[in-house]
Every structure is written in C-alpha cells, then in structure tokens.
Amino acid sequence: MKMVIAIVQDHDSQRLTDRLTKANFRNTKLASTGGFLRAGNTTFLCGVDDERVNDLLNLIDDTCGNREQTVAPVTPMGGNADSYIPYPVEVEVGGATVFVLPIEQFERF
C-alpha cells in the first residue's frame, strides 16, 4: 500500500477529480497555496495498492500538463528594488508535484 500525495494547480483540480473518480481511485482533496506564484493549489491524498501506483501516476501526468502563463512579478519587500523589473513575465505553470510514500497500515471504517 502507498500514499500518493499530488499537488496540482487549481486549474487542473476538477478535471483530475473527475478522472480519479472514473478510474475508481478514492481520494481526499485539500486546498493549498503555492509559494512561488502564491496561487491556489489542490493537494490530493490517495491510498493506493502497490500494483495501481503506476496507473495513478500516469493518470496524473496525463491530466496535469504544463503551460505558459504571464504573471506580474511581486514587488520586493525590504530588499533592494534597484534590480526589480516591474514587467509581466512568462512562466511555466501546471504539472504536478507527486510524493509516493510507503504505508504501514491502512484502515477504512
């Protein structure tokens, strides 16, 4: 048994929820916030049998793709603003950060 923790951008959250349900992966969904863009994320917790881990990872990979997004940089606070560039920049967002952890015991009541 494994615990899969997947952190995805909110943009991909509903589509991933739908696909997890359709593929019969039980999950718990938590709201979270990313540090880099200070944007909303969703964290999924899934208890998965060892033989289904690769299926879950493939589903996450297929659902949560990277894309370009234009963002306005955050003004530096307390630092040197001389090198601050106040123009929007293109950054890559999306994708997923996934952790796979061994589970010693799993109960469902």
CA atoms within 13 A on the CB side of 16: 30
Segments making up each domain of the chain, as ranges: 2-72+86-102
pLDDT digits (tens, 9 = 90+) for 50-75: 999 999 999 999 998 776 666 666 65
The answer, yes or no, to whether residue 106 has pLDDT greater than 70, is yes
pTM of the shown model: 0.75
In terms of phi and psi (left: phi > 0; alpha: psi -120 to 50; beta: otherwise), the region of 103 is beta
pLDDT of residue 10: 86
Which residues lie closer than 8 Å to 4 by C-beta, 6 or more apart?
44, 45, 46, 47, 48, 53, 56, 57, 98, 99, 100, 101
2-72+86-102 CATH, one of 3.30.70.120, 3.30.300.20, 3.30.565.10, 3.30.1540.20: 3.30.70.120
